[in-house]
Structure 1
């Protein structure tokens, strides 16, 4: 592929698209794109870099552009049609990435859960030591001309990650998700198994996941986890309100002691994966230790703020496994506070397929509130309601309305988790505004 100097993104606010746009901008290319006019959190990075965002219009397409098409937009989109009529190069996002990473030592991070956090962690650690470009699924992208490494979040949705043949892969887990596309867990497994066969140098996989133990690969798989039957494992784990610390053993020998300022077992596992990659590449252990201690997290993953006497946390968790991990992290950091879950399901198909699992996960919180199911561009309606999910929660759940967040005001000196992959942030904002207003009235 010949990379042109002018790139135009159809759907530039998509999390992967916005990240790629920032990478190409950072490498000195001219970048612009189009999207809906509604503000989305990925837009901030584009605005900060001065990348122009147009409303969709076929007249935006000009001679000399290479058009990168977001996967959410079909070939009959007006801008894609116009680009093809003009004879311009039109390439899908994941195919562009597949070619682009061939210029680097590439690391693809994938898994049903945890890939964004792990990608962000590896980008932070490796980028603080070696010249590194990276693309994170929270909409963050960074490109530098002298980069030797490329850290990439590889999404399994619709098997898009099969466009990638990275040098290394980190695979965090395999779970049934995206029921609008995958038939069952076996279908998901086959996709990951095919992806693993395309990895060039080596795979780092979580040995705590039974599905990952079944992977076939052209290269040996290094397993990591808590149990000592893994190639890389931890001992002497200490978890407290400041974070977690642990000793890492590789091939039965103690490698080093590490501390992280994050919470929950999932963040320990993510850290072991990153440490394992750095060990494979001969990255200085002391520098890795120092970088781990300064990681501040990624967007919409356990993002905290204090409002009045409440801790308000925004998190992207939209699968039962992720909800459990988020509640686990909140319980570790705030062991003496009530944990309140506010959850917005994402897509009707996922809600139906995982209904019982959602109920089980949300029951781990002390109190549960629900927001109406987010209808994505993939599906506008479905044969399930938010009341159906409420009925699966043993301790009971109240459905919130955006114009009335007052039921949450009865909780004092507690932690509120706003979780979901849709627009649950608007419920969080409404609650914060109401809480601030109520506090002022009381003072």
Structure 2
């Protein structure tokens, strides 16, 4: 095993990624010297630099890199990085170079790890578990795939007994972890560029489940076959832990929570959607098993503010509503639009969607077409390529996807033209969704709609 304590310097290649930045914050909080590279200067990299972390945005070997010593520097990179001069430099000079997932795995070896996996729901669930841990004042640190609205970060250090981590299935990263408790929220097909087919991704989740020791607990949403004994959870159907009697009052959801021994009535929170009550159910189940009382959990659930870009909702003075969400898979889009239709069945919905990856667009084109056809009007942005090249998918474009969508009111637009198009539209609710750089529309839309982002 690599002893992380022996390193004084940590260099992150791709430091602006949500998972990488959480690790960078962890080592920075531990008193280590942290620096890194990213190709794009974003809000997140700006925050990291404000916290005292040095970041460069050019792929060049500068004096800050050449001054690092091979013996006391650990280099951490994201698998999204393919070719880079900085990475080549560290490799050629025999620095210790590890993937992000490997380093996170090493951290989990020395803690009681609570790992949340699933193709959907893992960010909300892991963030909620972390929020409940903080409200219960447990000794924990967390590494999240989103920015918690409660503690305005994707990382929090409140001790070292527990580590709450988002277990990422991409590149089979979650198999590096050492979970003591684990959650599997869903095993829908995704990342088929890595796994190839649905059966293979399901096998990946079974391998993850096998990492949980027999004397600890694995929580699995009811209906998922995971191939080993586990604790089930569900909403509106009986399971080992389940919630029911969901009802909505003034934009708040009330529900009852059932353990194997008792029923606790009238939990309340403000995060809409049945899928989010499902996430709350398993988070409560975990904290119940850690010995936290229901009086604390009820108060904590009621105070949960959510995650940035996970159904971030603003109500405007003129009655219009703006919702921003990270949804980038047909199942996630269905969940968001279903929640909107439940709360606001009569309102005109304008959706702006940026597909993420050519491969995902190709693999789930029919699902995207069906989910997006639930809008009243659609602006479909160009595909965000991330790590992929258009030349490898010459026929996969947003125009190609648009032709499968049954809406009459639809158009394809580059991102830079989207805001001017939005301002010309008639709508009651505007929904921006996607995992790429569509988030750059958020501030202009809020300013145009006179929204205070602190509400």
Normalized against structure 2, the TM-score is what? 0.88
1:343 to 353, 363, 380: 353
1:49 aligns to 2:60 (yes or no): no
Deviation at 1:413, TM superposition (A): 5.9
Deviation at 1:427, TM superposition (A): 4.1
Taking a change above 3 Å as real, the CA distance of residues 23 and 336 of structure 1, as seen in their structure-2 partners, is: farther
Deviation at 1:333, TM superposition (A): 4.2
Taking a change above 3 Å as real, the CA distance of residues 34 and 407 of structure 1, as seen in their structure-2 partners, is: closer
Which residue matches 1:441?
Answer: none
| In structure 2, C-alpha distance between the alignment counterparts of 1:153 and 1:389, rounded to whole Å | 31
| In structure 2, C-alpha distance between the alignment counterparts of 1:174 and 1:181, rounded to whole Å | 14
Q: Deviations over 1:281-309 (max 9, x none)?
A: 11121111111111111122122345674
1:73 to 76, 81, 84: 81
Task: Look up the SS of the partner of 2:305 in the other structure.
Answer: coil
| In structure 1, C-alpha distance between the alignment counterparts of 2:92 and 2:403, rounded to whole Å | 52
Q: Deviations over 1:189-234 (max 9, x none)?
A: 0000001001122111111xx4x2x1123xx311111243411112
Deviation at 1:337, TM superposition (A): 2.7
Aligned length: 428
Give the 5 Å matches for 1:178-193: 178-193=191-206
Task: Look up the SS of the partner of 2:124 in the other structure.
Answer: helix
| In structure 1, C-alpha distance between the alignment counterparts of 2:418 and 2:307, rounded to whole Å | 30
Normalized against structure 1, the TM-score is what? 0.90
1:420 aligns to 2:429 (yes or no): no
Taking a change above 3 Å as real, the CA distance of residues 390 and 241 of structure 1, as seen in their structure-2 partners, is: farther
Which residue matches 2:208?
Answer: 195
1:266 aligns to 2:269 (yes or no): no
Which residue matches 2:291?
Answer: 282
Deviation at 1:252, TM superposition (A): 6.2
1:392 aligns to 2:388 (yes or no): no
Deviation at 1:384, TM superposition (A): 1.5
Root-mean-square deviation over aligned CA pairs: 2.2
Which range moves more in the overlay, 193-202 or 304-313? 304-313
Point out where structure 1 has 5 or more consecutive residues left out of the alignment.
Answer: 437-443
| In structure 2, C-alpha distance between the alignment counterparts of 1:194 and 1:12, rounded to whole Å | 28
Deviation at 1:72, TM superposition (A): 1.7
Give the 5 Å matches for 1:132-281: 132-138=140-146, 140-144=153-157, 146-200=159-213, 201-207=216-222, 210=223, 212=224, 214-217=225-228, 220-251=229-260, 253-281=262-290
Taking a change above 3 Å as real, the CA distance of residues 86 and 155 of structure 1, as seen in their structure-2 partners, is: same
Which residue matches 1:92?
Answer: 99
Taking a change above 3 Å as real, the CA distance of residues 340 and 142 of structure 1, as seen in their structure-2 partners, is: same
Q: Deviations over 1:43-77 (max 9, x none)?
A: 24413312111233333431132111222224x63
Deviation at 1:362, TM superposition (A): 1.3
| In structure 2, C-alpha distance between the alignment counterparts of 1:39 and 1:338, rounded to whole Å | 36
Deviation at 1:132, TM superposition (A): 1.7
Which range moves more in the overlay, 92-101 or 401-410? 401-410
